[in-house]
Amino acid sequence: MRRILTPVTLTRRTIFFWQRVSGALVSRSRQRWSRVTPRHLWLPLCRAVTLALALAAAAAAQTAGRITGTIKDPDGKPIKGATVRASNEAVNARMTSTTDDKGRFAMIGVRSGRWVIVAEAPSFVPLQGSTDVTSSNTPVLALTLQRDPGPMPGALVKTIAEDVAAAEALHKAGKLDEAISAYQSIESKNTRLTTVNLVLASLYREKAEQEKNPAAKQALLNRAADADNEFKKSESK
């Protein structure tokens, strides 16, 4: 005889069945979620990605600029092998470029800011200026270098300060003969520096005071007088 399930028995089994099924589904659903990134890690991950993108954008903005241009002589001819130096003290950066056969130069990856530009080439006068570089402003420079005329006739030599200091050091050390020779050399290389005659006159008199031989002493005094006269003569011209 077949067993007839009462409504109460059927209801209990049905409830038990659905509890088992729903529990398994919930369990499987939780297992599947745990294999994906947990929810509590999403926020830090998004923040990290956002920060990385921001840093990348800032770095790209800082190095997006460039400086290009040409260097020519006064006749409009390109100068090959000219050196171009760029410096930005605010970011402690320096860059260098050299012109090609057509006088062109280029610097890429230049950070934004004010850059000091120095262009120079052998036999030409160096040229210095400044330019602003941004991601939207990439300057193209057209530079002209003037030819170096060389030293002017009668101009002081570049080492005049060192030469005078060396001569004076010899004087202070009591080496009068060497000091006199040093000042005579200065006079011959700097003909417009007439005050050297006064220094020589003083050195001749100082040495005359130490000289015991009357003839040698008088000769030194005569040289001192000649040096004084040379100074007066040059001043009267």
- Say if 52 falls within a structural domain: no
Q: Which domain range does residue 67 map to?
A: 63-144
Q: pTM of this prediction?
A: 0.44
Q: What's the total number of domains in the chain?
A: 2
CATH code for the domain of 191: 1.25.40
Residue 201: inside a domain: yes
Both 140 and 168 in one domain: the answer is: no
- pLDDT tens digit at each of 237 positions of the chain: 444 444 444 445 544 444 454 444 444 444 443 444 455 544 554 454 444 444 444 444 455 688 999 999 999 999 999 999 999 999 899 999 999 999 999 999 899 999 999 999 999 999 999 999 988 888 899 999 999 876 555 445 567 788 889 999 999 999 999 999 999 988 888 777 788 888 999 999 999 999 999 999 999 999 999 988 988 887 776
Q: In this structure, are 165 and 208 located in the same domain? A: yes
Indicate whether 196 belongs to any domain.
yes
Domain boundary among 109, 144, 179: 144
Residues 135 and 166 in one domain: no
Whether 169 and 117 share a structural domain = no
Q: Secondary structure of the chain in the HEC alphabet? A: CCCCCCHHHHHHHHHHHHHHHHHHHHHHHHHHHHHCCCHHHHHHHHHHHHHHHHHHHHHHHHCCEEEEEEEECCCCCECCCCEEEEEECCCCEEEEEECCCCCEEEEEEECCEEEEEEEECCCECCEEEEEEECCCCCCEEEEECCECCCCCCCCCCCCHHHHHHHHHHHHHCCCHHHHHHHHHHHHHHCCCCCCHHHHHHHHHHHHHHHCCCHHHHHHHHHHHHHHHHHHHHHHHC
